[in-house]
Structure 1
Amino acid sequence: MPKLIAILVYDKVQILDVTGPAAVFAAANDACSSPHYDVRIVSTGGGPVKSGSAAVLMSDPLTEVAPDEVDVLLVAGGDEEALLGLAGQPDLRSWMEQAHRRAARFGSVCTGALLLARLGLLAGRKVATHWSACAWLSEHFPEVQVDADALYVEDGSIWTSAGVTTGIDMCLAMVERDLGAAAANRIAERLVLYARRPGYQSQFSPMLRLQSRAGAPFSELLEWMAAHLDQPLDVPQLAARMAMSERSFYRRFTEAAGETPARMVETLRLDRARELLATPASLKQIAAQSGFGTAARLSKAFERRFGVSPLLFRETHRRAGERKA
Structure 2
Amino acid sequence: MHVALMLYTGSRMLEVSGPMDVFHETNRLCGETVYEQHLVGPSPGPVQCSNGISVDTTECLRDGLPSFDLVVVPGASDVDPGRKHHELVDWLSDAGRSVRRLASVSNGARLVARAGLVDRRCLRDGKLYSSRGATDSIEMALLLVSEDLGEETALGVAKSLSRQCSWIRF
With the shorter chain as reference, the TM-score category is 0.7 to 0.9
Instruction: Go from structure 1 to structure 2 and tell me whether the alpha carbon gap of 1:104 and 1:81 turns closer, same or farther (over 3 Å shift).
Output: closer
User: Which of 178, 194, 197 is equivalent to 2:168?
Assistant: 194
In the TM superposition, residue 107 of structure 1 has moved relative to its aligned partner by: 2.5
Give aligned-pair identity as a percent: 30
| In 2: Cα distance, 1:185 partner to 1:94 partner | 36
User: Where does structure 1 differ by over 4 angstroms across 4 or more consecutive aligned residues?
Assistant: 81-84
User: Which of 76, 100, 106 is equivalent to 2:102?
Assistant: 106
Deviations 1:112-137 (A, max 9, x none): 00111112111xxxxxxxxxxxxxxx
Structure 2 gaps of 5+ residues are none
Aligned partner of 2:69 in structure 1 is 71
Structure 1 gaps of 5+ residues are 123-143, 148-152, 197-325
Letter in 2 for 1:194: I
In the TM superposition, residue 10 of structure 1 has moved relative to its aligned partner by: 1.0
Letter in 1 for 2:160: R
For the 8 Å contact 2:8–2:41, the answer to whether it is kept is: yes
Structure with bigger strand share is 2
| In 2: Cα distance, 1:180 partner to 1:107 partner | 19
Letter in 2 for 1:170: M
Aligned partner of 1:182 in structure 2 is 152
In the TM superposition, residue 178 of structure 1 has moved relative to its aligned partner by: 0.7
Corresponding pairs, count? 164
In the TM superposition, residue 81 of structure 1 has moved relative to its aligned partner by: 4.2
In the TM superposition, residue 93 of structure 1 has moved relative to its aligned partner by: 4.1
Structure with bigger helix share is 1
| In 1: Cα distance, 2:92 partner to 2:64 partner | 11
Instruction: Go from structure 1 to structure 2 and tell me whether the alpha carbon gap of 1:63 and 1:77 turns closer, same or farther (over 3 Å shift).
Output: same
In the TM superposition, residue 48 of structure 1 has moved relative to its aligned partner by: 0.9
Q: TM-score, normalised by structure 2?
A: 0.87
Aligned partner of 2:39 in structure 1 is 41
In the TM superposition, residue 145 of structure 1 has moved relative to its aligned partner by: 6.2
| In 2: Cα distance, 1:13 partner to 1:64 partner | 21
Alignment partner of 1:95 is 2:91: yes
Select the structure of larger CA radius of gyration: 1
| In 1: Cα distance, 2:168 partner to 2:17 partner | 18
Greater RCO between the two (CA within 8 Å, min separation 6)?
2
In the TM superposition, residue 34 of structure 1 has moved relative to its aligned partner by: 1.9
When the two chains are superposed, the root-mean-square deviation of aligned CA atoms in Å is 2.0
Letter in 2 for 1:146: R
